[in-house]
Amino acid sequence: MTKVIAVTGKGGTGKTAITALLIRHLARCNKEILAIDADPDTNLPETLGCELEKTVGDMKQFMLTERDNLPPDINKESIFESKIYEIINEMPDYDLLVMGRPEGSGCYCYVNNLLRGIMDRFVTNYDVVILDTEAGLEHFSRKIIRDVDDLLVVTDGSRRGLRTAERIRELTEELETNIRNIYVIANKVTDTNREKIANLARELDLKLIGTVPVDRMIEERDLAGDPLFDLPEDSIAVQEVERIAKELGL
Ligand SMILES: Nc1ncnc2c1ncn2[C@@H]1O[C@H](COP(=O)(O)OP(=O)(O)OP(=O)(O)O)[C@@H](O)[C@H]1O
Ligand SMILES: [Mg+2]
């Protein structure tokens, strides 16, 4: 059975970093992984250290041209599928699909609709599908992400970060999305705020599954523009993410 994990939360809390560290863990467990960068800002490839070639957004022009040229009896779905396979970046340890943004227009409906289709059709080929989403609630309010086993809401030490988690939980309940579990991961945690965050999460009735500390190794790599994928085992963030992964049964 494929496990679908989506990572969400307020801007800048560390969604992409946590996603990359989870992929790092899964790769070391030899899982078949599809990583999807669903953020139009596209940061996951860099954080993983993957040279990006193609994005789903780039397909828009191709599909528009093809639509007019294709004979009416041809199965457009199969063309769509073969095109998606071309766009999946096959890395040694994982496959990466980058949604990106459609060329030219400011509307993401096209890319989002494709993402919905991908989620419906492609996920069963993998052990784990993990999505890094953009900040905000759009992927949920538009029901682009519907069937998820574990939704991980990343928060920082701020009250606002935990409020976002609360709002995401309310929204997913209202929309009757098919999300099995919602967990909160507090990131960039320090000894000073660890307990306060845990108390606030309890007050808000949020399931705090882990607290990832501020990690100097991440800060250094960020400044140097180096990926997080090959962080060593003695990184304190790696250790906590591995613990979280085990708790999630990964
Ligand atoms: N545990 C950590 N320790 C130190 N720095 C961290 C940690 N986690 C993330 N960071 C840093 O915090 C910044 C934001 O992280 P990241 O890009 O992962 O956040 P994000 O939630 O994906 O942001 P966005 O909303 O823009 O997509 C980055 O500079 C990253 O290197
Ligand atoms: Mg990000």
Nearest CA-CA partner of 97 in 65, 62, 122: 122
Look at residue 20 in the predicted model and tell me its pLDDT: 98
Going by alpha carbons, the residue nearest to atom 16 of ligand 1 is: 14
Look at residue 143 in the predicted model and tell me its pLDDT: 75
The count of C-alpha atoms lying within 13 angstroms of the C-alpha of 30, restricted to the half-sphere facing its C-beta, is 0
CATH superfamily of 3-247: P-loop containing nucleotide triphosphate hydrolases (3.40.50.300)
**CB-ligand 1 contact for 237 (6 Å cutoff):** yes
Tokens 């701020």 locate to 158
Look at residue 210 in the predicted model and tell me its pLDDT: 98
Report how far apart, in Å, the C-alpha atoms of 236 and of each of 158, 199, 226 are.
21, 22, 17
Alpha helices, DSSP H, located in 14-158: 15-28, 44-48, 59-69, 76-87, 109-121, 138-141
Structure tokens at 142: 């538009």
Pocket test for ligand 1, best of 21, 188, 197 (most atoms within 8 A of CB): 188
**CB-ligand 1 contact for 43 (6 Å cutoff):** yes
**CB-ligand 1 contact for 221 (6 Å cutoff):** no
**CB-ligand 1 contact for 165 (6 Å cutoff):** no
Q: Which atom of ligand 1 is nearest to the CA of 237?
A: 1
Distance 12 CA to ligand 1 centre (A): 5
Cα gap 46→20, rounded to integer Å = 10
Look at residue 105 in the predicted model and tell me its pLDDT: 57
Q: Give yes or no for a contact between 45 and 72, defined as CB atoms under 8 angstroms apart.
A: no
Residues 214-239 as b or e (16 or more Cβ within 10 Å = b): bbebbeebeeeebbbbebeeebebbe
Cα gap 220→197, rounded to integer Å = 25
Per-residue pLDDT of the chain (250 residues; tens, 9 = 90+): 899 999 999 999 999 999 999 999 999 999 999 999 999 899 999 999 998 778 888 777 677 777 677 777 777 677 777 788 888 999 999 999 998 876 665 566 777 777 787 777 788 889 999 999 998 777 777 777 778 999 999 999 888 999 999 999 998 888 888 899 999 999 999 999 999 999 999 999 999 999 999 999 999 999 999 999 999 999 999 999 999 999 999 9
Amino acid at 96: L
Residues 18-29 as b or e (16 or more Cβ within 10 Å = b): bbbbbbbbbbee
Tokens 């309310």 locate to 170
Tokens 């059709």 locate to 121
Ligand 2 (single-atom ion) residues, CB below 5 Å: 15-16, 43
